[in-house]
Amino acid sequence: MDRIFTIIASVVMFVGVAAGAFGAHGLSNHFTRYPELEATFQTAVRYQLTHGLALFAVAWSATRWPGTLTNWSGYLFIAGVVIFSGTLYLLSITGIRWLGAITPIGGIAFLAGWLFLLLAAWRGS
Q: What is the pLDDT of residues 28-73, one digit of tens each?
A: 999 999 999 999 999 999 999 999 999 999 999 999 999 999 999 9
Helix (H) or strand (E) segment spanning residue 11: helix 2-21
How high is the pLDDT of residue 124? 87
How high is the pLDDT of residue 52? 98
How high is the pLDDT of residue 125? 57
How high is the pLDDT of residue 1? 84
In terms of residue numbers, what domain contains 102? Answer: 2-123
pTM: 0.94
Q: How far apart are CA 13 and CA 51, in angstroms?
A: 9
pLDDT per residue as tens digits for the range 69-122: 999 999 999 999 999 999 999 999 999 999 999 999 999 999 999 999 999 999
* All residues at 6 or more sequence positions from 98 whose CB lies less than 8 Å from its CB, including other chains: none
Provide the residue type at 26 as one letter. G
| Long-range contacts, stretch 29-34, CB < 8 angstroms, 24+ apart | 30/93, 34/95
Domain count, the chain: 1
How high is the pLDDT of residue 61? 96
Asked whether 112 and 76 are in contact (CB, 8 A), the reply is: yes
